[in-house]
Structure 1
Amino acid sequence: MMFWYGDGMNGWGWFAMSAGMVLFWGLLITAAVLLFRSLDRAGERPARQGPSGPEQILGERLARGEIDEEEYRRRLRALRSGEP
């Protein structure tokens, strides 16, 4: 006698063991993928809220010092009047 259930497992025993192994590895791989994705997202910068409009971009350029106030006002007037 090999084990307490006789000479070996019947068909249902093999099925249960196989299904359990597939379920175990599936859960383990799913947990690893979810953990990896959550760690990957933690390093990302937050996305901007909506598209940036031309006036907002112009204001950002003024704040960074790329353009002076006179050029800012000139370009802002051109944007608001619809001139190219």
Structure 2
Amino acid sequence: MMGGYGMMSGFGWLGMLTMLLFWIGVIALVVWALGNLFPARQATVDPDALEILKRRYARGEISHEEFVQARVALQ
């Protein structure tokens, strides 16, 4: 009655599925490209107490005896 131009003729469901997969692929490609273009920030990790102690000793803020005493207390 529709002369072969109905929904189920020709590509019909296969064409719709192909077009859906195409657009999903395009959207996924755009999301991937934007994700690589603007990478998420890495969370900064705060140094632990021993690292802070080592830095203070390296800067000369504490003496060797204070460093050793604090290191023993931390471990």
Q: Classify the TM-score, shorter chain.
A: 0.5 to 0.7
Alpha carbons of structure 1 residues 75 and 24: separation in structure 2 relative to 1, 3 Å = farther
Residue of structure 2 in register with 1:58 after alignment: 53
RMSD over aligned Cα atoms = 3.3
- Please state if 1:21 is matched with 2:19: yes
Identity %: 20
Q: Which has the higher contact order (CA 8 A, sep 6+)?
A: 2
TM-score, normalised relative to structure 2: 0.60
Q: Structure 1 residue 71 and structure 2 residue 66: aligned?
A: no
Judge conservation of contact 1:55–1:76 (CA < 8 Å) in 2.
no
Paired residue type of 1:32: V
Q: Structure 1 residues 61 and 81, CA, compared in 2 at 3 Å: closer, same or farther?
A: closer
Aligned positions, number: 71
Task: State the SS of the aligned residue for 1:82.
Answer: helix
- Structure 2's unaligned 5+ residue stretches are none
Return 5+ residue gaps in structure 1 as ranges: 1-5
TM-score by length of 1: 0.55
